Structure 1
């Protein structure tokens, strides 16, 4: 039994603890909504501990700092140390024991627990805390837990907790009730400071902090996008010699400095905490009465087009702004300075974009493959993974030999057991085979952490590893290198190898990078100019003065994917001999209009990089035709002779399609003909090699004879090309693409004596007559010729007599003989 008297704890969530217990007796899934500071993260797991005597409670936290903090808070309420009843597990850190009954976990650890035991035996409850952050790990873990609950463990209890949730959507997905805690949020005075400039955030935030120090009391929590802005703002404030303590707070900060930011100042000094969005939720920061919100956050966005993730500074959503402002109202009335305008506030998105919509999905795809799922639609998602990013991740995992025909391989299973990105896992496993595991562990750490030397050191990643090994040998580590070395040490323990300070062979580094990034093999372009073509087809460049700028081959680790020409940040020289297993022979038959048409070559390639190209002997005729078919689909309107006769044939068939909808008439619009050209054009492609050959194809005949014999007959009968008129001329009709009446443009003198309007479609459609002057200018448009003779002709006659006095314009057009040429006036 617990020795906690919840009634003595002055936190709002206490009021709903009994309701939570009762609801979990009735169903296995529950949604809990409670504001920041209500105590849900610590008290709900403790309250359920006595109810979970048959198994552990797992609490999933989206952030490592929050996981540690919550575990320590729960342990202190029990009067214990972390690792006894309450423990935590995060990447490369484990504080649990045989006595642990509540585990706070993060970073995909719950997903790995599910993979090791699909039924989660020994676990009674899984709590998803701060679910509104919509981390990709939480989304995946919730989908898999739901699957396990529905198939294997109906007794498994799932709780989803948050302060700001899209509640209707979540209730609809989980089909679960919700319990809401009203909380105890003191009023927060929201002040809008005016317009903002993302390029000036450190300066503007420092100015707002100075204003807040003068106008308010209590500790100040200022939100900035990342470490760079925090450090700049910190430097500006320190120049002011303020009587306050200034503390940065971000994820990569050492633990002791994080604690200094979170805990009250021991001397009671006023504090300024400059934090990333890590401080929005979960963490309890004592003494904060003022919040300064810059309105921006940093997020990683993945581009399926180039397979790269990049950090972007983006505007926050309304729910994030509310979370941040709420920090000022936990202890009493507070103040929040929002560094934007009221108009901007009205334009913010209501909820943040779920990470699954913007993240690299390689981990997710590997997780699902390990679970036995090849199609993500087999699971119930709050937000399904985007198809483009999912396909790109699947393709990458096939390249890394983790998947075969969509199913996980033995190599993929070994990759999945390593707690790192699939790229790094593949590199470590391949390094073990090639005998350079020590280098791989240092390289893996260097790839995962920030560049310890900065861009001024150039792009050679080997310089970073050499600096790491030198400092390691001398037993003096800078802060940045110390962090990298700790990660490398964790990897060494994981794969079972010793540290190394030996001289590095840069070509070995290049080979290891190829294992991790096979699509980022770079080959110098002709003329070099520090430009490289990557094996994925992209173009990138190094600085012209960089030591690696004139290398023939590079293995690129970090780059940005700007349009046109990307920029390399970290790379290693590469020995082309190491690429032998990646070289593929490929027969390529393409159509290139600018360069003369068909091009059939045999190429040696590394991805998109062509090593050798020579003419392909005796190319297969069907492959040649397919290349032309593909080209016609893309640019066929310019390749084929779509002349006026072809256009009229198309309009005749389209008219029949409208007039006789049950006649199975094909869609012969230009766009559809191009997309389906393989159905009608192929018989005419024999011998076609260049654009001029395509232009010679009689397109009208090719299309006409693709119709059935019956349709050809019906087309000539119901939609004739020409109509005979009294003068003896056979006049071409002009058909319209929308099935409107065709136009008969004929000189007035050629239809003297014609009483009725000509028709098509077996008398069902009157043609639209454009009656022309002797100079072929329209004088009247009519679809009722009889009415024209009776009512309008005599007015038209006056004008024609004035303009064409030498021509005869009879008073009785009914009796006048129609003529083709000039019908001169009798003298």
Structure 2
């Protein structure tokens, strides 16, 4: 095929021109436009490239091989010459390679190993709309490299369904769009019958498509399991003119190549594919698409602690892209296997918002900075949890920097939990066993009714290797686990065969390094409950195979309202725990707040992590621990547990109010949230030498609260938010301050004063450099409320006459002048006889 035969071809000169003038570009082009294969070829001789390589990121191995093979064929060369690819466990590049197609994990390792990217002139992110976590990380790292080290590096985002405007704004880059070339596609919904399984519905749709329409049929299914079921359902029901071919990432290269080429004999084909066929690869001859509307995508599974592939509904953008596959060569037809009333999300959600982030946190620690520009910022809560886990695994130090062990984990290219376990294995036998465990943990359960013992799964795997097959096991699942274990052994350079038998605790001894937060000890009073190292608790099934085990480690937990449920676990040998985790076993004196006694109590505790193994009274409270314990008690009970006086509350409210009214003064935050967050700084020193909460006096609390304020700020408080104010009568009257229920917004400050004391004052008094009027509570001579106003001038003009008329007879010995503007203010009654 000539390079001019692609819809993207007319746009190629503009792409070259934009990348000559700009370092970044966003390119939108629909499936089949040729962007994946033609853009790299068009850029390989760009002057700014200066002979350096182009690296193109492809999310999937099938697409990476296919794109590299197609480009090499266009050049009349074998793969590995000008165009090559690198994917997991496979490398076809040479010193002559100028265009290198890589999968996501490869790009991250390239950036981490060589941030300068020497010899690389451009990074192309293909199918960026899929928003895989590795692609988002790769882009963030690339942008950091470009801004800090390589201003000449070109970065191009390419996709069929990008939010191009948003991404162009994010990158501050030009945006180009290709119209593509497609034919009309008739879309219809193919209803399922009542209680009909997906494979049966799909079989009926395939049969109808072959009867009514020409060309090949492309069926989108969520995964290998569903492909196998549909393939079995179609076996024997189609005539000899149609071949049924699977397409997914785990197929051998030869089978993938066969699917991506036209049938040599012109036979019609039914291709059963995962979403690998949604983009990047082209299937010739497809006229009908049958779409189950499902995909396997990573979601965080709190039961296992990993992100696992769940079957989820696809987005509307994916549905449209899949349907478009039927209109590549002529008009086509798309059958959707979901109800027409079902509404899909408009776009696919980015993985970074919905997966577990330990691997990302480890990559950022290795990079040395997490101040990177992400299209979507990693959620703060998920990142905090990820870093806490990495510290438990020994991948991060207390300061958050990566450790030597953390770098070794990163080099293994797997989840940090599994990497920690693989590195902890001692000797060939344990390494082989760790490889088995890694494969078992990552895989779906091979037992149909296997209980909660992980050992049962391993024994089923050992039986398969020994030529035996447990009755309740899935042979296909065990075979896949065995193959994955071989890959792990190869990666670990472990030549030993896996053991033929093991003690159950041997599995747990290794598993503890992957799940140190889920090591558990049996509750002393309830044999079915276990206390976890992370401070929580869990319980066994009533029919558990693990009853009576003193120590366990859980690989899967179901979190419930009270205790978690142990779904999968293995026993652990306490002696091995003490050898492997000596720093987690501690003996120390602990001082805690006793809420019933409202005092501190001292205990001498033996603990494993957060599990209390033994606790005994320690007698006198150690003063060194008492201040911290009392501070923690206030943190638990709240600030109201402190001995507040009205004067101290008023002082705090003055500070809060003035901070709100005059932010330029930069006064400290004394809100509940801020005070509770800084208790160790301002309150803990005040508890020195005390063992009871009520031993803290009012004056000591006041000094503690005011201690962070320098003298200059205390003076500003008295100047702009005074306690008292002089009124025309010559007296000083108190100003009352208060806050709204939110504790952050000040209410108007109140001046309660007798009416006669304000004669001669035209306008409402103000504080805070004249910004805030006082709310006047005008009182009768007897101190009773007469009027509340924030506008004294209006009161004199419109209300005073009525008040005077009503009050003059009741308080005849007090002045009620006709003209309050000029009358003398007084706080006394008139002398007798006047």
Q: TM-score, normalised by structure 2?
A: 0.76
Specify the alignment match of 2:612 in structure 1. 610
Tell me what 2:437 maps to: 443
Tell me how large the CA RMSD over aligned residues is: 5.4
Q: Whole-Å Cα distance in 2 between the matches of residues 440 and 661 of structure 1? A: 59
Equivalence map 1:504-515=2 (5 Å)? 504-515=502-513
Superposed displacement of residue 505, structure 1? 2.4
**Cα distance in 1 between the residues matched to 2:671 and 2:649:** 9
Secondary structure (helix, strand or coil) at the match of 1:12 reads coil
Note if contact 2:551-2:571 (Cα within 8 Å) is conserved in structure 1. yes
Q: Does the 8 A contact of 1:234 with 1:246 survive in 2?
A: yes
Structure-2 separation of matches of 1:741 and 1:719 = 11
Q: Which is further off, 278-287 or 557-566?
A: 557-566
- Which of 457, 467, 480 is the equivalent residue of 1:474? 467
Aligned residue number for residue 279 of structure 1: 277
| Match in the other structure for 1:488 | 485
1:329 to 327, 348, 365: 327
Aligned residues: 788
Which of residues 5, 8, 11 in structure 2 aligns to 1:13?
Answer: 8
- Is contact 2:728-2:759 (8 Å) kept? no
- Decide which moves more: 506-515 or 95-104: 95-104
- Structure 2 CA distance for aligned equivalents of residues 417 and 576 of structure 1: 30
After TM superposition, the structure 1 stretch with the greater mean CA deviation from structure 2, 709-718 or 356-365, is 709-718
Give the equivalent residue in structure 2 for 1:824: none
In structure 1, list runs of 5 or more residues that go unmatched: 798-807, 821-827
Deviation track 1:469-513 (CA, whole Å, cap 9, x = no partner) reads 332233989332222222222222332322134211222211111
Cα separation, 2, equivalents of 1:717 and 1:219: 81
Q: Does residue 166 of the first structure (1) align with residue 177 of the second (2)? A: no
Task: State the alpha-carbon separation in 1 of the partners of residues 662 and 151 from structure 2.
Answer: 60
Q: Residues 741 and 207 from structure 1, CA distance in 2 versus in 1: closer, same or farther, beyond 3 angstroms?
A: farther
1:458 aligns with 2:469: no
Contact 1:374-1:406 at 8 Å conserved across structures: no
1:416 to 394, 397, 410: 410
Identify which range, 623-632 or 778-787, moves more after superposition: 778-787
Name the CA shift for 1:712/1:164 in 2 (closer, same or farther; >3 Å): closer
SS at match of 2:613: strand
**Corresponding position of 1:626:** 628
Does the Cα contact within 8 Å between 1:304 and 1:392 map onto a contact in 2? no
- Kept in 1: contact 2:428–2:494 (CA 8 A): no
Matched, 1:791 2:791: no
User: Structure 1 residues 658 and 186 mapped into 2: Cα distance closer, same or farther (>3 Å)?
Assistant: closer
Task: Specify whether residues 522 and 246 from structure 1 end up closer, same or farther in structure 2 by C-alpha distance, changes over 3 A only.
Answer: farther
SS of 2:425's partner is: helix
Q: Helix, strand or coil: the match of 1:519?
A: helix
- Which stretch shows the higher mean deviation, 93-102 or 531-540? 93-102
2:535 equivalent in structure 1: 537
- In 1, Cα distance between equivalents of 2:180 and 2:757: 94
Identify the match of residue 63 of structure 2 among 63, 66, 69: 66
Farther off after superposition, 205-214 or 486-495: 205-214
Pair 787,493 (structure 1): closer, same or farther in 2 beyond 3 Å: closer
Match of 1:579 among 577, 587, 597: 577
Contact 1:58/1:127 (<8 A) preserved: yes
Give the Cα separation in 1 of the matches to 2:556 and 2:44: 46
Matched, 1:358 2:354: yes
Are the aligned partners of 1:91 and 1:107 in contact in 2 as well (CA < 8 Å)? no
Q: Secondary structure at the match of 1:291?
A: strand
1:182 aligns with 2:205: no
Task: Find the aligned partners of 1:713 and 1:384 in 2 and give their Cα distance.
Answer: 40
Q: Which residue of 2 aligns with 1:800?
A: none
Equivalent residue number for residue 374 of structure 1: 368
Moved more, 393-402 or 498-507: 393-402
CA distance in 2, matches of 1:49, 1:735: 72
Q: Please, which runs of 5 or more residues in structure 2 have no aligned partner?
A: 740-745, 817-825, 829-834
Q: TM-score, normalised by structure 1?
A: 0.76
In structure 2, what is the equivalent of residue 520 of structure 1? 518
Residues 149, 225 of structure 1: CA spacing in aligned structure 2 closer, same or farther, 3 A cutoff? same
8 Å CA contact 2:304, 2:557 repeated in 1: no
The Cα shift of 1:549 comes to 4.1
1:367, CA displacement in angstroms?
Answer: 4.0
Change (3 A) 1:193 1:716: same
Task: Using the TM superposition, give the Cα deviation of residue 113 of structure 1 relative to its aligned residue in structure 2, in angstroms.
Answer: 3.8
1:184 Cα deviation (Å)?
0.8
1:144-168 CA-partner distances (Å, limit 9, x unpaired): 4556667777776655432233334
- Residue 309 of structure 1 is matched in structure 2 by 307
Matched residue SS, 1:611: strand
